Amino acid sequence: MISNKELHDKYIKKAMMPSILCAGCGNGTVLNATLRAIDVLDMDLDNMVFVSGIGCSSRLNAYINADALHATHGRALAFATGIKAGNPKLDVVVFTGDGDCAGIGGNHFIHAIRRNIGLTVIAINNYTYGMTGGQMSPTTPQKSISTTSPYGAIDHPFDLAELAKAAGAPYVARWTIAHPLQLQRAIKKGLKNNGFSFIEVLSPCPTSFWRRNKVRNFETIYNWYKENTVTIKKAKEHPDKIPIGELKNIDKDEWTDLWKSLVSEVRI
């Protein structure tokens, strides 16, 4: 297995280091798992484009030695759709977050899934708008404290993976940063899957989410993700816990393939 040093030298833009991420942020684990999945699959970085929206999650593509597009807030999937449809040969990976993907970008999210365009979408769900200092997001659990829910959130949160399943995504998985190897395997499967792949990662924002909810010890935070999740097989026995694992994996016609066959029929 490739060492962290080798991984860094091979894939990371040195000019962009040190990163802007806080101590204890889960984004580094997600980037690590993504790059390891790419390395195991021996993918050609020159043939890859990393797209993102706005937020802490969306800074990850700046660190990779490859073409990348840092889009407007919530629109990463619209830009990524244009890139994939413009050149279907490219492998397009999208980094997004709970606010970017399901808040401002909710409409683009369900429609990119509906079309089943071949993107690998990695959504880092940290329950908050971290970059703006910790406001309530579409996934903030009820009763949580944030700067815009100072008396506890009353909004019902979205379940991103269930949303992706309901919208028709052929590949859906959810893991946490406490499950790095499982996450790496899920990203690998997502990259290999021809259609829209959605991988949700539950990841901590110690600075903006957990601190406000009076959890300041990283070990406690890390253990929270282990203790409050359950693998899909045992989910029925633990209805109070968040199911993790491969939640959906089916075959479905991909948009650029469908377009290609339409063109071959219509082209003069």
Partner 1 sequence: MDINTILGPREQFIQGDTACVYGALLAGCSFFAGYPITPATEISEGMSRLLPKIGGTYIQMEDEIASLGAIIGASWTGKKTMTATSGPGFSLMQENLGYALMTETPCVIVNVQRGGPSTGQPTRASQGDVMQARYGSHGDYEIIVLSPSSVQEMLDLTIRAFNLSEKYRVPVILLADESIGHMREKITIPEHTLIINRTLVDIDYTEYKPFRAGYLHATKIPEFDTFGSKYNTYVTGLTHNKDGFPVTGDWKVHSDLIKRLSRKITDNIDDICEMDCRFLNYAESVIISYGISARPALSAVEMARTMEKNVAYINLKTIWPFNYEFISEVSKQVDKIVVVEMNMGQIYHCVKEAVEGRCDVELVSSLGGRVPTPKDILEVLK
Footprint on this chain of partner 1 (rule: CB under 8 A): 13, 15-16, 46-47, 49, 51, 61-62, 65-72, 75, 78-83, 85-87, 89-90, 107-108, 111, 259, 262-263, 266-268
Nearer to partner 1, 62 or 242 (CB): 62
Q: Up-side HSE of residue 235: CA atoms within 13 Å toward CB?
A: 10
Three-state DSSP state, 262? helix
Kindly tell me the sign of the dihedral angle through the C-alpha atoms of 49, 55, 59, 60.
negative
Q: Give min distance, CB of 124 to partner 1, in A.
A: 18
Q: Give min distance, CB of 181 to partner 1, in A.
A: 29
Nearest to 122 by CA among 70, 186, 71: 186
Nearer to partner 1, 54 or 221 (CB): 54
Q: Give min distance, CB of 199 to partner 1, in A.
A: 21
- In whole angstroms, what is the distance from residue 235 CA to residue 257 CA? 35
Nearer to partner 1, 53 or 190 (CB): 53
**E strand or H helix that includes residue 189:** helix 180-192
Q: Give min distance, CB of 73 to partner 1, in A.
A: 8
Nearest to 78 by CA among 86, 260, 185: 86
In the chain, what are the helix, strand and coil shares in percent, each to the nearest 5? 45, 20, 35
Q: Give min distance, CB of 190 to partner 1, in A.
A: 20
Nearer to partner 1, 66 or 153 (CB): 66
Nearer to partner 1, 33 or 112 (CB): 112
Q: Give min distance, CB of 1 to partner 1, in A.
A: 26
Nearer to partner 1, 123 or 173 (CB): 123
Helix 106-115 vs helix 160-167: angle between axes, to the nearest 10 degrees?
Answer: 40
Q: Give min distance, CB of 156 to partner 1, in A.
A: 24
What backbone phi and psi angles, to 5 degrees, belong to 187? Answer: -65, -40
Nearer to partner 1, 67 or 159 (CB): 67
Residue tagged 């937020």 (tokens): 55
30 in Cβ contact with 184 (< 8 Å): no
